[in-house]
Every structure is written in C-alpha cells, then in structure tokens.
Amino acid sequence: MKHLLLAGAAVLALALPSPGAQAQLLLSANDNKVVLENGAVKTLREPQPDTLSVIDLSTGTPTLRAEIAVPASVVGPPTSVAITPDEKLALVTANTRPNPAEPGKLMPGNSMAVIDLAATPPRLLATLPTGAAPAGVSINRAGTLALVANRAEGTVSVFRIAHGQVTPAAKVDIGTVASEVSHVEFTPDGRFALVTRNGDHMLNVLQVEGDKVTKLNREITTGVRPYGLTIAPDGRWAVVANIGRGTGDADTVSLVDLTKEPFRVVDTISVGQTPEGIAASPDGRHVAVTVMNGSNKPAHSPFAGPGLVKLLKVEGMRLSVVSEARVGNWAQGAAFAPDGRTLFVGNMTDRDISVLKVAEDGRLSEGGPRIKVAGGSAALRVAQRAAR
C-alpha cells in the first residue's frame, strides 16, 4: 500500500487558521490517475492516490498548508470541489475511478468525499453516494445545501448541510444520460440554480425552496457543449463556457441575463479553443476563463498552442476580452482570491497552479511562483460569498 503524506510532515503539521480568522482557503482537487502524453490521455495502471491541496491565502502569500488523499477526477468541469462559506467543510466529487477488474482502465465514479477542514491536518469525514459520474458541485451561500451534477445519469443530487454533517436529501431528474449534465450552480440568493447540459447544448433552471429542488420548464439555448458555469456574486448574470467539439475551431462563452425572468442568453463571444475553467471576480466586473488553446493537442498538430487564461469584462450585459496570459498545459480550474487582486489557474499537465496579478483595469501579469501540488490540478475553488 502506498502512503500519502506528499507535502511532508512539516507542511501537514502547520495548523490552519481557526474558522473565525477568515482563513481564505483555496482548494485544489488533484487527479493522479491520468496523464497527457503528446496530446493523448493515458490512464496509469498503478497510480498514486488522488489528493486535495489546502492553500491558505490569508497572509497575501499563498501557502500550501496540507495535502491529503481524496478521490478526484479531471473528467468533468473543473468545479468538482466546493467549500462551505465558513470554510469548515469541503466537498470533492470523483467522476471516474480505477476499474479494479481492468488495471489501466477507468469506470464511472459514484461518490462524493466530505472533508473536515477544521481538523489539523484536514481529514476525510465521510464518503457519500451520488449518481453515476458526479461532476460539478456547488454549495449555496447559506451553507445549508449542496448540489451535484451526475454526468452519466442525467440527474442532480441534493445534499443537506447542518451541524457539520452532509446528508443525501433527494435527486432531481434533468434529462437523459445523453444530456451529460455537467455542472450546477446556485444563484447567490439561493432561490434558483442553473445546470449545464454538455450533451444537448442547453441550460436548465432549477427552483430551490428550502431543501426542495424542482426543475422548471425553462431550457436556455447556449453555444456548443456548455460545460463550466459561473454566476456573478450579486446574481445579475451568469457566464457559460461552451467547450465545442475540440476540432481546433474557436469556441465561445455565453452571458445569461439573470435580472429578468425567464432568464435568457443575451451575448456570446469567441475566446479560442476549448474554454473550460470559468470564474467570476468578487466585484462582478470580470470573468476569468481558461482556454486550452491546443495545449492538450499533439505537438505536431496545426492547432497546438500554449495554454491561456483570458479575462473578460462584463458591462451593460455585454462581454469583451480585456487581457490574456500564458498558463500551463491542459489548464483546468480558475479561482480569484477573495480580494480579486490575484487569479489562480490549475495546470493539469504541469501539476501546479499559476499565480497571476489582476490590475484595476483587468490587465494580467505574473503574480509569483507557481504553487506545486501533489497531482494534476483538476479543479479549483474558493468559498462562495456574497458580493462585496
């Protein structure tokens, strides 16, 4: 059996700030099962365990505080990790898991890990059943409810959160298996949630009343293969990453107006090949989107290129590209520091996290050395809080 204290005993011994100290944690879910070899995804026969990295942002210098073994997956939108607003609990879904009958092969996962972040070091608290191939996960701003998109089942699982415990509550039918439900995100007021359907190019709207979640009769048409999704902290808009078909063509992101009911797409712009990770800035002025830009293709491909992150401005219910910066290959998640001045991007191939400064006008620049993590960074998240 392989043991995992990958950050070293000295790192794991460092205590996290108490919950009341506003630790400002960044979480990275890391996949160790697959690697990218010259544009081809390869599954390892004897992988190291997947991990969760806990990074403290409260001092202004990102500090890796702990890494523990937690099942994770690069398959699905890079929003497969979530953290409660009080930063006491984390949730991590595992879309895929090793197939014990066929080493080097994967099979759909069916579980979500619950991690106690208040423990020193953080510890796995529970493993809960989900639907088949759980992908994106989100927690409401009240910290009382979580939703999980089950990509190979066409459903959304509902979980209650109370007294430090997470318990299954219900499951909502969204579409057929072919709809490939990928991510689900609460509106800040907790009254609705949006669900991306990667398989049939649309969003669904869910109504949330207490812990009762109901699918409404509203299908929003987006671009090709909507995948990742982010919502402004003030709830005025959502932006969807349409990953396209991976054929080297420029893909898009779509802006959804949430100020009017029924919600509707009001703008769509091109951002380049395969936009995947997407995150709204804390002030609601910008959206960061990771663009693979062919960094996941063979070196000889005419579509090969360096990984990018682009910063978009949202103004007057219109999108525009403000700036871009180089990041690693096969880039996945994006997350802003709570003050909005730093942007983090997870790099799956490079097994690290890029750190970028965000200027007042939206210009991006290097913000410090990359943060090494124990595995390919497959998903990034900070606590979702109300607009500041």
- What residue ranges do the domains of the chain occupy? 9-382
How far, in Å, CA of 166 to CA of 5, rounded?
26
Instruction: Let me know if 126 is exposed, middle or buried by CB neighbors in 10 A (0-12, 13-18, 19+).
Output: middle
Q: For residue 10, what pLDDT is reported?
A: 31
Asked if the bond preceding 121 is cis, omega within 30° of 0, the reply is: yes
* Cα–Cα nearest to 335, from 374, 369, 375, 385: 385
Beta bridge partners of 320: 313
The count of other CB atoms within 10 Å of the CB of residue 311 is: 23
Q: For residue 18, what pLDDT is reported?
A: 46
* Cα–Cα nearest to 281, from 361, 146, 387: 387
The count of other CB atoms within 10 Å of the CB of residue 62 is: 22
Rounded to the nearest 5 degrees, what angle is found at the Cα of 41, between the Cα atoms of 54 and 107? 75
> 281 with 260: CB under 8 angstroms?
no
Q: For residue 14, what pLDDT is reported?
A: 42
User: What is the percent of the chain where pLDDT is above 70?
Assistant: 93
C-alpha distances in angstroms, 185 versus 122, 154, 166, 338?
A: 25, 16, 18, 18
How far, in Å, CA of 255 to CA of 278, rounded?
12
CATH 2.60.40.1180 fits domain 9-382: no
How far, in Å, CA of 31 to CA of 29, rounded?
7
Q: For residue 15, what pLDDT is reported?
A: 44
Q: For residue 384, what pLDDT is reported?
A: 81
Q: How does pLDDT run across 122-170, given as a tens digit for each residue?
A: 999 999 999 999 999 999 999 999 999 999 999 999 999 999 999 999 9
Phi, psi of 169 (to 5 degrees): -120, -40
324 token code pair: 């871009």
- Enclosing H/E stretch for 9: helix 9-12
Q: What is the mean pLDDT for each group of 10 consecutive residues in the chain (388 residues)?
A: 36 42 84 95 96 96 97 97 98 97 96 97 97 98 98 98 97 98 98 98 97 97 97 98 96 98 97 97 97 96 97 98 97 97 97 97 96 98 75
pTM of this structure: 0.94
Q: Average per-residue pLDDT in the chain?
A: 93
